[in-house]
Structures are given as C-alpha cells and as structure tokens.
C-alpha cells in the first residue's frame, strides 16, 4: 500500500523514470547520455555525501604532483575545487548536461586552473599520447561498457612515468557487504552500476604498476588505486 502511494506520487513517478533510464554496466552511449541528462539536475544533491571521500583522496594524491591533469568522467565537477591551483585541469565526460553543471561550478568558484571541459568518450580520447602528467577517473569504471579500453586510453594519454588514479567500488569478497552486493546485482541495470565489478577487471587489464591501494569511507565501500606508467 505504501509502495502504491509512493508510485502514484510525483516523486515516485520521477524516481521510476530516473531509475528505468539508468545505464547498465553494458549500456550504450545513448543510454548513458539519457540517464545522466536526468541525473544532472539532482546529481550533487544525491551523490555529494557518499562520493566526497573518494574525490578528496584522489585529489590529495594528485596534489602531490604537478603539471597537466585529465579527469575522465568529470560529471558535474564535484572534484574540481579540490585540486591544487598548480595543476592545470582538463575534464571530459560523455554527458553535456553534466558538463554544463561543471562549467557553472568553474565560473561560480573562479577555478582559473580548469583549462577545458569537453564532451568525449573515455574509451576513445582524442588527446595525443603522453599529453598529461596525471589522470583521475572516479566512479566511472563500473558505468562504462568497456573498462579495459578506458584503462588503455588512460595509460596512453599519461606520459611515461605519469600517474593514473582510479576510484571505484569493487565487489566485496565476504561479509555483510558481499551479501548485500549479491542481492543488488539483480538490479544492476536499474542501479546504473555493477555491484559485482571485480578489482581484477582493473588490475588484470593494465600494464601500469600499482603503487598504492587504499580503502575509502564510507565503510571502506570504495577503493582508490594509484598506478604509475612505466618510464619507457
Ligand atoms: C557516477 S558519475 C561520476 C562523476 C564524477 N566522476 C564524480 O565523482 O562525481 C559517472 C560519470 O561518467 C560519465 N560517463 C559514463 N560513460 C562515459 C564515457 N564512455 N565517457 C566519458 N564519460 C562517461 C557519466 O556521464 C557521468 O558523468
């Protein structure tokens, strides 16, 4: 009965629309674009709290470096104010409505070190080999259909000796979270991410060297991995 009431309400109808259009792990680009067009107006409101810890951890790691930084899947630009001003930041995302929010943030917060925000596919970057000193990719690997291609592109566009920072949720091996994730997996399509996404999907698909791995709040649900590209 409560469920019927929620369904009939405006909020219920909106939630149903949002979730029914959320991209699956294997969603097409137009699925992703239409889903994030719907999420863009409320994204910050819903996701700031759970995602801020990973964004801060990635920015902390990036801020020990200098030069040109690429953020892949920059979304509404929640992380942009967290980067040191000595990093020149470029952000790309598939979704123009998400990028519009990021552009508004850059203007509102006077982020003069953000050089460019462009619509682009993470699996097909138009930047030259070795163009960046560091790249970050947060909460994106589970929503793209081809995480191996995204990793290969990240490796390609950072210079030899450069750094790639990945923040993501990976499947828990055991315990309460593993149990919850197995239950959630049935709804992966509607959630827009794969709760059973394996850590090995990243580790086994890159030639870069893992130099740091850290569990992130809340409750260690997310993990940050820092990779170095070989110096050759
Ligand atoms: C969960 S949001 C994360 C946004 C941001 N990284 C953050 O921390 O708030 C995932 C983002 O990835 C973007 N995205 C999904 N597939 C993409 C692709 N193939 N290329 C570029 N961006 C993509 C979406 O448009 C969305 O903005």
Tens of pLDDT along 27-80?
Answer: 678 888 888 999 999 999 999 999 999 999 999 999 999 999 999 999 999 999
Cα radius of gyration (the chain): 18
- Verify whether ligand 1 is closer than 6 Å to residue 39 (CB atom): no
pLDDT above 80 (res 20)? no
- Whole-number Cα distances in Å, 119 to 23, 43, 76, 224, 231: 18, 18, 12, 25, 30
Which structural domain, as residue segments, surrounds residue 22?
Answer: 2-228
Q: What is the pLDDT of residues 148-178, one digit of tens each?
A: 999 999 999 999 999 999 999 988 777 777 7
- 222-228 and 158-169 strand pairing: antiparallel
Sign of the CA dihedral running 172, 72, 218, 66: positive
The closest residue, in CA terms, to atom 10 on ligand 1 is 140
DSSP type of residue 83: S
Q: Which of 55, 89, 140 to mutate to test the pocket of ligand 1 (most atoms within 8 A of CB)?
A: 140
Please name which of 205, 216, 107 lies closest in space to residue 169, comparing C-alpha atoms: 216
Which of 47-56, 107-116, 186-195 is the least confident region?
A: 186-195
Mean pLDDT (whole number) for 195-215? 91
The CATH number of residue 188's host domain is 3.40.50.150
Cα–Cα distance measured from residue 98 to residue 165, given in angstroms and rounded to the nearest whole number: 21
pLDDT above 50 (res 82)? yes
Burial readout 1-15 (b: 16 or more C-beta within 10 A, e: otherwise):
eeeeeeeeeeeeeee
Structural domains counted in the chain:
1
The closest residue, in CA terms, to atom 27 on ligand 1 is 75
Q: Going by C-beta distance under 8 Å and a sequence separation of 6 or more, which residues neighbour residue 84?
A: 62, 63, 113
Cα–Cα distance measured from residue 70 to residue 157, given in angstroms and rounded to the nearest whole number: 9
Q: Return the pLDDT at 128.
A: 98
């Amino acid at each position: 009965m409560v469920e019927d009431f929620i369904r009939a309400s405006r909020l219920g109808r909106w939630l149903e629309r949002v979730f029914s259009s959320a991209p699956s792990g294997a969603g097409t680009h137009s699925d992703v674009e239409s889903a994030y067009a719907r999420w863009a107006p409320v994204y910050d409101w819903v996701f700031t709290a759970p995602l801020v810890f990973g964004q801060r951890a990635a920015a902390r790691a990036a801020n020990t470096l200098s030069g040109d930084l690429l953020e892949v899947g920059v979304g509404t630009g929640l992380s942009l104010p967290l980067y040191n001003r000595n990093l020149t930041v470029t952000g790309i995302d598939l979704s123009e409505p998400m990028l519009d929010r990021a552009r508004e943030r850059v203007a509102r917060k006077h982020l003069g070190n953000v050089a460019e925000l462009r619509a682009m596919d993470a699996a097909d970057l138009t930047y030259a080999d070795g163009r960046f000193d560091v790249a970050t990719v947060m909460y994106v690997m589970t929503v793209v259909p081809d995480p191996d291609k995204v990793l290969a592109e990240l490796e390609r566009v950072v210079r030899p000796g450069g750094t790639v920072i990945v923040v993501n949720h990976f499947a828990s091996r055991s315990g309460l979270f593993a149990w919850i994730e197995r239950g959630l997996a049935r709804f992966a399509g509607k959630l827009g991410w794969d709760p059973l996404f394996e850590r090995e999907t990243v580790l086994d698909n890159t030639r870069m060297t893992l130099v740091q791995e850290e569990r992130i709040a809340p409750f260690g649900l997310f993990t940050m991995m820092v990779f170095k590209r070989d110096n050759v």
